[in-house]
Each structure stands twice: as structure tokens, then as C-alpha cells.
């Protein structure tokens, strides 16, 4: 298979990492997994939360419904761990550059959940990176949705304040959730949080080369196969030009041919379904059209 370090299926002694995702995020999730494994000697077990097939009930009030298909998935983790030990929660749109031990081995010091306190002053605090004490977090998704339905907790309090965690520590360094910003030797985890420029769907991310280089290493090691990459393109999960870029001999100097740009222009990234549900089909349609024109005109704009 591969000589990547840290692969283990031991559920007791491994670093348990749970990722919020849908099948459309398979490739970025695999690149995330590879980036963790290639930078640690610890045994790691990573899984997409949806693969555990735990049903999440729908809130009765539309105002409380999940903003994304995976918003509520994080609340399943303590149950999936049998309310024992600890676990790490991550989003799928991430890449790790430093040993995951720096996050996994942090002492709880009375807290039940540790996370990053801010996003460099530019955005509100997120709970997209969490170290969780599963033995102390007695979350049950059915009970949580019932609390939403009864008005005992609001969606904002649940998702943005994590009110169901009794003691939260915001002590995890910001380098473990660096939003769209990378500093060599400093960044521990890069979060590609802007859906319209994520490097697997767009050519416009300034850190695209970092992610594509990691994909290339995963392909070279056999952690991801060419057939799997082709499958993800054919299913519309990632941009068509990614195949040419990943196997290009020019590496960091790769420039898309017009055929690559045209294929990308005709491609509709999965995030447009979220945009349509949030802002309407007209907005999503106009945004797709604008994106297509920018791609076709890209050689003239540079």
C-alpha cells in the first residue's frame, strides 16, 4: 500500500480524528489524512463522520436546520467513541503541516473541550478544530435536536457558542486553525475556509500549490490512486483541471491549457448547492456564470 507513518486501526491507542464531510469531500479529506500521517509518528485513525451512519433528526423549525449538510455531525463524536477517551474534530477543508501530537497531547486542565479562541481578529471564533474529552461530553444528537425544538437552546448558541459544553478552553494556538493564511515553519493547520477558492475546485487560491503538492505526494505514495482522482472528477466533486495539474511535470510552474480552463468553466462545484439554499437559485446561477467567464478569460486577465 504505502509507507506513510502512523496508520493504525487500534481504537484504544490511536489518535482518533473525526472529520465533518459528505461524499463530495472525499478527496480533500484524504489529502488532509495524508498530511496528518506524513507529519507524525503517532498511530492515527481518521474517519468521515457520515460513514458511521448515525441518523441525525431534522429540527422542526426551519431556522434551526443545519446550514450545511455536515453542521451537526460534530455532536455525534462522543457517542461514536462510546463516551470514552478523547478525540479530535476537524473540517474536511484543511491541511496539516506540524505533528498532530501538538494538538492531541494538550492537557485539558479542567475543560471538556479545547479550541482556537479567535481567527486573527478578522473572523469570529470557530469550532472547526476541537480536542474533545468524550468521557465528559455526554452529547446525544436526539436530545440536542429536541432542545432546539423546545427553544431551550438557539442555533447560534449551539453552533457558535457551543453552549452544550460545560467548560471550554480557548487555549489552542491560532496556528492550529489558520484561515487562508500560511507561514512556513509556523502554520500547523491551514484551513481553506472560503468555499469558492478551495484548491480542489478553484485555480484562484494563493496557497493552491501547497495543497496540490500534498496531493502529488499522496499519489506517489499510493495513498490516493489515479483512478480515485479520476472518479472524483467524473462525479463532479473536484475541478477537471486537477488531473492535469497533479500529473504535470512542471510542478509549481504548471499553467492550465485552454482546454483545462474550458472544462473547469463547464464544471459546477458542489458548494453551489449550499449557495443556492442560502441565497437562492438566481444568485447561485449568476455566480456560476461569472465564474465561467473569468475562467475562459483567464489568459487575457493575467
Q: What are the tens digits of pLDDT across the range 38-73?
A: 999 999 999 999 999 999 999 999 899 988 888 999
Q: Which of 67, 104, 103, 69 is nearest to 85 (CA)?
A: 104
Number of domains in the chain: 2
Neighbours of 197 (CB within 10 A): 16
On whether both 21 and 95 belong to a single domain, the answer is: yes
pLDDT of residue 271: 74
**pLDDT-derived band of residue 2, with 50, 70 and 90 as boundaries?**
very low
CB 26 within 8 A of CB 232: yes
Sheet holding 113-116, edge to edge: 44-48, 15-20, 86-91, 129-133, 113-116, 168-172
Does a structural domain hold residue 67? yes
Does a structural domain hold residue 6? no
CB 277 within 8 A of CB 257: no
Range of the domain at 68: 15-179
On whether both 207 and 287 belong to a single domain, the answer is: yes
Does a structural domain hold residue 2? no
Return d(Cα 221, Cα 21) in angstroms, integer: 24
CB 180 within 8 A of CB 191: yes
On whether both 80 and 57 belong to a single domain, the answer is: yes
Residue range 82-139, pLDDT digits in tens: 999 999 999 999 999 999 999 999 999 999 999 998 655 555 557 999 999 999 999 9
Amino acid at each position: 500500500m504505502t509507507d506513510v507513518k502512523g496508520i493504525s486501526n487500534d481504537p484504544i491507542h490511536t489518535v482518533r480524528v473525526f472529520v465533518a464531510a459528505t461524499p463530495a469531500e472525499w478527496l480533500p479529506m484524504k489529502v488532509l489524512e495524508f498530511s496528518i500521517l506524513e507529519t507524525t509518528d503517532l498511530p492515527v485513525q481518521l474517519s468521515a463522520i457520515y460513514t458511521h451512519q448515525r441518523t441525525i433528526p431534522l429540527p422542526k423549525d426551519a431556522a434551526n436546520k443545519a446550514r450545511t449538510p455536515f453542521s451537526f455531525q460534530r455532536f455525534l463524536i462522543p457517542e461514536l467513541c462510546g463516551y470514552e477517551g478523547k478525540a479530535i474534530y476537524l473540517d474536511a477543508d484543511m491541511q496539516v503541516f506540524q505533528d498532530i501530537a501538538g494538538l492531541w497531547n494538550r492537557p485539558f486542565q479542567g475543560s471538556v473541550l479545547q479550541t482556537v479562541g479567535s481567527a486573527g481578529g478578522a473572523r469570529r471564533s470557530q469550532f472547526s478544530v476541537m480536542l474533545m474529552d468524550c468521557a465528559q461530553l455526554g452529547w446525544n444528537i436526539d436530545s440536542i435536536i429536541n432542545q432546539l425544538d423546545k427553544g431551550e437552546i438557539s442555533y447560534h448558541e449551539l453552533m457558535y457558542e457551543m453552549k452544550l459544553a460545560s467548560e471550554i478552553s480557548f487555549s489552542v494556538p491560532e496556528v492550529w486553525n489558520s484561515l487562508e493564511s500560511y507561514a512556513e515553519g509556523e502554520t500547523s493547520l491551514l484551513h481553506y475556509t472560503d468555499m469558492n477558492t478551495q484548491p480542489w475546485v478553484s485555480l484562484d487560491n494563493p496557497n493552491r500549490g501547497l495543497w496540490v503538492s500534498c496531493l502529488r505526494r499522496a499519489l506517489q505514495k499510493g495513498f490516493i490512486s489515479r483512478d480515485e482522482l479520476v472518479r472524483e472528477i467524473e462525479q463532479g466533486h473536484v475541478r477537471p483541471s486537477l488531473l492535469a495539474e497533479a500529473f504535470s511535470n512542471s510542478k509549481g510552474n504548471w499553467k492550465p491549457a485552454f482546454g483545462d480552463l474550458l472544462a473547469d468553466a463547464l464544471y459546477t462545484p458542489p458548494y453551489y448547492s449550499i449557495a443556492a439554499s442560502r441565497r437562492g437559485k438566481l444568485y447561485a446561477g449568476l455566480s456560476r456564470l461569472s465564474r465561467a467567464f473569468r475562467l475562459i478569460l483567464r489568459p487575457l486577465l493575467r
